[in-house]
């Protein structure tokens, strides 16, 4: 087994079948012969995931159900890590993400170029604003479903750029070379993740707090690692009521303050940005994958149909 994808789900019955579709051999470019597995952890969802909802998808799924689950995904990640059979891991802590079609090809190609790469795929939101803003302006699951239907997803996965927007992370100028501090699609060798201790279960807040940032920072700063950011491929967040991604205003700020306080209590500092020099690799698959032109995409959405 070459690749193990660890996919964590809580109350994502709507989103998971689409996520798995974006991981399918028939969707990912040139991956028909890829040897891989998806360890889908249902982390205590009130209604258990139903495998019948993704039976039509060509994705090798092993479903792990945790009934008495901790509200943080840390234990779920480590459970999947113990069962993973791949040499390389892809960590998707939030299971509600859709990938563009070249993610596997671009990410795995780095293992031919570097001895110990850690590869990050950039985080996007579905919708024309970050969901921390768009939800307050009426964005909801029905709107999202209509957007995906409008681009006929998954027929052409790169059309996700037409209906999505990148996580800005406070950047004033948005481009592919903005330095990342987290990814919901992170590739690294299993041995490396094990040497880092896996997911730190001290991050025990609902949703994990800054667990995802902690994993990213530790992996990118590990000795002998080559940090890589992929250009032209993305991981698009579906609306599902996440702990911070779908909250806003004072509620969101209070949660982030709580997360930062826990991070500082664990590490003795609150410097969450990875201190790493990144390599960049990739391509520009479509005109709309030029993320610096987000305003043009918004104007096109408002002015005429995408198709």
Nearest CA to 89 among 208, 8, 201? 8
Q: Give the residue-averaged pLDDT of 291-300.
A: 65
How confident is the model at residue 251, as a pLDDT? 84
E strands, 154-278, are 164-166, 186-189, 226-237
How confident is the model at residue 227, as a pLDDT? 98
Tell me, which fold does domain 3-303 have in CATH?
Spore Coat Polysaccharide Biosynthesis Protein SpsA; Chain A (3.90.550)
Q: Give the residue-averaged pLDDT of 169-186.
A: 88
Q: Name the average pLDDT for the chain.
A: 92
Indicate the pLDDT class of residue 93, thresholds 50, 70 and 90: very high
pTM of the model: 0.93
Nearest CA to 222 among 74, 295, 78, 116? 116
Let me know: does 292 contact 173? Beta carbons within 8 Å: yes
Any bridge partners for residue 39, and if so which? 6, 62
Q: CA triplet 95, 96, 102: central angle to 5 degrees?
A: 85
Q: Which residue has the higher pLDDT, 249 or 219?
A: 219
Helices (H), the chain: 16-22, 74-83, 103-113, 131-134, 141-150, 190-195, 211-221, 249-267, 294-303
How confident is the model at residue 306, as a pLDDT? 46
How confident is the model at residue 278, as a pLDDT? 97
DSSP letter assigned to residue 54: G
Report the percentage of the chain scoring pLDDT > 90. Answer: 83
Statement: residue 299 has pLDDT above 90: no
């Amino acid at each position: 087994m070459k690749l193990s994808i660890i996919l964590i789900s809580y109350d994502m019955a709507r989103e998971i079948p689409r996520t798995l579709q974006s991981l399918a051999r028939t969707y990912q470019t040139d991956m028909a012969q890829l040897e891989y597995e998806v360890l889908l952890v249902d982390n205590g969802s009130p209604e258990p995931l139903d495998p019948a909802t993704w039976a039509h998808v060509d994705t090798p799924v092993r479903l792990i159900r945790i009934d008495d689950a901790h509200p943080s995904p840390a234990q779920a990640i480590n459970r999947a890590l113990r069962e993973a059979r791949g040499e390389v891991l892809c960590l998707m802590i939030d299971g509600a993400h859709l990938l563009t079609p070249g993610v596997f090809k671009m990410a795995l190609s780095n293992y031919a170029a570097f001895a110990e790469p850690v590869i990050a795929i950039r985080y996007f939101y579905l919708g024309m604003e970050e969901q921390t803003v768009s939800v307050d302006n009426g964005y909801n699951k029905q709107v999202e479903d209509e957007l995906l239907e409008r681009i006929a997803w998954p027929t052409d996965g790169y059309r996700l750029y037409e209906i999505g927007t990148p996580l800005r992370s406070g950047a004033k100028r948005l481009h592919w070379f903005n330095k990342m501090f987290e990814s919901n699609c992170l590739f690294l060798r299993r041995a490396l993740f094990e040497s880092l201790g896996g997911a730190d279960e001290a991050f025990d807040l609902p949703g994990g707090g800054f667990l995802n940032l902690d994993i990213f920072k530790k992996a990118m700063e590990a000795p002998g690692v080559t940090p890589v950011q992929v250009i032209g491929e993305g991981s698009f967040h579906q609306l599902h009521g996440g702990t911070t991604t779908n909250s806003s205003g004072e509620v969101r700020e209070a949660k982030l303050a709580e997360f930062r306080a826990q991070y500082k209590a664990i590490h003795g500092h609150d410097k969450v940005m990875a201190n790493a020099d990144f390599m960049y690799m990739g391509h520009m698959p479509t005109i709309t994958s030029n993320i610096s032109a987000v305003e043009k995409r918004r104007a096109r959405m408002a002015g005429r149909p995408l198709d």
